[in-house]
Structure 1
Amino acid sequence: MSDHDQKGSRSAAIAAAVILLVTGLAFFVLPDVMIALGNISPWLAAAVGAALVLAFFLLFWLRARYQRGRE
């Protein structure tokens, strides 16, 4: 494995770890946020929950698209 390949795989692993850590933290606090928002409006709570789940997949889709563009 070349030095460039090692740096690329290390960078990808670090990026994935950071993404998973941030989203894991967001999903950890999501129930409390949804309960608080549900007191205001159940639709608002549902929208925020759905947006967070979609953002998780959107982030990985954008990263994959960026990586394909660099190759």
Structure 2
Amino acid sequence: MNRDTRNAAIAAISIMILFGLFAFYLPTIMLAAGKVSGILAAFVAVLFIFALFLVFWLRSRAQRRRGQ
């Protein structure tokens, strides 16, 4: 394993752990937000999905830039 693949593996496991923990606690967070407002609970779910795709988009841009 060279330096580039090691860094990619560390980044991937970090992202998986972060989003895994957030997904594990997402129902609890949504129930708490739902007590305040149903729209707020939906916003929390949308924010989770948006953040996941944002990370993937930023990662693809960084790799595309490195490849050129």
1:34 aligns with 2:27: no
Give the partner amino acid of 1:26: F
Displacement after TM superposition at 1:61 (Å)? 1.1
Question: What per-residue deviation string (whole Å, max 9, x for no partner) do you get for residues 16-64 of structure 1?
Answer: 0000100000011110000000010000000111111111111011011
Q: How many residues align?
A: 67
From 6, 24, 37, the equivalent of 1:10 is 6
TM-score (norm 2): 0.91
Give the 4+ runs in structure 1 shifted more than 6 A. Answer: none
2:53 to 45, 51, 57: 57
Identity %: 46
Classify the secondary structure of the residue corresponding to 2:47.
helix
Structure 1 residue runs without a partner (length 5+)? none
- For structure 2, list consecutive stretches of 5 or more residues without a partner in the other structure: none
